[in-house]
Amino acid sequence: MIWNKEMETMSRKQTEELQLEHLKQVVSHCYNNVPFYHQRLDEAGVTPEKIKTLSDVQYIPFTTKEDIRDNYPYGLFAVPMKKIVRIHASSGTTGKPTVVGYTRKDLDTWSELIARLVTAAGCTEEDVAQICFGYGLFTGALGLHYGLEKIGAAVVPISSGNTKKQLMVMKDFGTTTIISTPSYALYMGEQARELGYKKEDFKLRIGLFGSEGSSVEMRSQIEELWGLLATDNYGLSEVMGPGVSGDCHLREGMHIAEDHFLTELIDPKTGTVLPVGETGELVITTLTKEGIPLLRYRTKDITRFNTEPCGCGRTSMRMDKIKGRTDDMLKIRGVNVFPTQIESVLMNIEKIGPHYELIVRRDGYMDTLEVKVEVIDGSLLERYRELERLQADIRENLKSVLGIICKVTLAEPKSITRYEGKAKRIVDLRNQ
């Protein structure tokens, strides 16, 4: 089923006309209401009247997370506070969080976009949807919440954590859809097995996973654990939260809500716009947001666009699963390595579990990488020969995919930290 046939099956021409109309409006909105943008656009010599075609967006300077932080908390808001009805903020592991504000119309748009993506994944009003994202400043929980209510699903706002209770509720309430990070879904699945639950105890059929990446291999493991269809959806709080793009049931790329977001891919080093088909950093211009519109926001997320028609009937451009973030990319002895590549390799090796950690160290001028992964059967750690063989096997597999040799450490089952939200798999010891 398609939630909004009119908007989700528009022709390319219609989409682009609509985007241009909105682009002109949003540039004016920023220019007239946000001093930061007024100055930036003046400096670049791009007044709103200069936007005549969609590709003119290229003349607008990029906006970055630092720009939002520098204007903490409300400096980039484009409407008076009386128009703001909700505030969210990104977790911000370092320094101040990035704060975003929504007008009533922004919230309506947001639930509309979530309604589209959950419908694309296969959810209906029949579903019981358990939201295992943390409720709070994070956009994941409340974002999905209102969109799922909009389609008529029964929302269970349990929030993250307290895994035992999650599982009890999941079983007793007959949950059919879970909403979480892929790593939390994995952890919950593992806990369910340990507590003696069987797949048949649950009615789960769809997983709406997002907020962090997962390789196709990890996705299969989650599906195997739970017996559901795992779908991926993408978004970021600065731009809206979840709702920017999401998988349909075919899962051949996430459909982008192009009537609300203008997307470009750039070379992260030079800022040059790349043609469709190439891989680069995703840059997003919000087309309809009122509270905190963003022009050419650099997401740091690496992906690729696909404009081929999709079998599901939606006409929007799709984006590949996120390959990684420019700031998560490791450069090991001159070779660029994305954690997702490592995950894909590990997931294909028997005898090791899906939990891993990547430890980066600096040795002189050289970065080194240790891949730490759990064995499934702890007794293996006592069988030296077998252990060495497994280690060598993992090292070889990684080498053939990454082109570099990593140190491989095998760890006891359950010794690597589990996460209820986004997993932190990189331990960076370079500056210690």
Residues of the shown chain interacting with ligand DLL in the complex, contacts defined by CB under 6 A:
90-91, 139-140, 210-213, 232-237, 241-242, 299, 301, 322, 325
Enter the tokens of residue 305.
């666009």
CB of 332 to ligand DLL, least distance (A): 21
Six-digit token pair at 311?
Answer: 């079998």
Q: Which is nearer to ligand DLL, 31 or 243 (CB)?
A: 243
Q: Which residues pair with 325 in a beta bridge?
A: 301
**CA atoms within a 13 Å half-sphere pointing along the CA-CB vector of 401:** 17
Nearer to ligand DLL, 213 or 354 (CB): 213
Give residue 197's identity as a one-letter amino acid code.
Y
Residue 19 Cβ vs ligand DLL, minimum distance, rounded to whole Å? 22
Residue nearer to ligand DLL on the CB measure, 240 or 369: 240
Task: Compare residues 113 and 236 and give the one whose CB is closer to ligand DLL.
Answer: 236
- CB 346, min distance to ligand DLL, A: 17
Q: Which is nearer to ligand DLL, 180 or 315 (CB)?
A: 180
Cβ atoms 353, 347 nearer than 8 A: no
Cα dihedral angle (113, 116, 121, 126), rounded to 10 degrees? Answer: 110
Q: Rounded to whole angstroms, how far apart are CA atoms 318 and 286? A: 17
CB of 354 to ligand DLL, least distance (A): 16
Distance CA 302, CA 299 (A): 8
Least separation in angstroms between residue 256's CB and ligand DLL is 12
- Asked if 182 and 152 touch (Cβ cutoff 8 Å), the reply is no
* Residue 389 Cβ vs ligand DLL, minimum distance, rounded to whole Å: 34
Closest CA to 398 of 323, 327, 353, 338: 338
What 8-state DSSP symbol labels residue 63? B
Q: Cβ 421 to ligand DLL, closest distance in Å? A: 9
In the chain the first and final C-alpha atoms are separated, in Å, by 52
Distance CA 392, CA 26 (A): 55
Q: Which residue's CB is nearer to ligand DLL, number 119 or number 368?
A: 119
Q: Closest Cα to residue 408, out of 396, 420, 426, 422?
A: 396
Q: In this complex, which beta carbon is closest to ligand DLL, that of residue 182 or of residue 408?
A: 182
Q: Which is nearer to ligand DLL, 236 or 410 (CB)?
A: 236
Compute the least distance from the CB of residue 327 to ligand DLL, in Å. Answer: 9
Question: Residues 377, 381, 384, CA angle at the centre, nearest 5°?
Answer: 130
Q: Closer to ligand DLL by CB, 100 or 410: give it.
A: 100
Give me 135's structure tokens.
Answer: 């409720």
Which residue stretches of 227-369 are H helix? 339-347
Q: Kindly state the smallest distance separating residue 378's Cβ from ligand DLL, in Å.
A: 31
* Residue number with the smallest Cβ distance to ligand DLL: 210
In angstroms, the CA 253 to CA 231 distance is 10
Q: Is 300 left (phi over 0), alpha (psi -120 to 50) or beta?
A: left
Distance CA 266, CA 281 (A): 5
Smallest distance from ligand DLL to CB 269, Å: 19
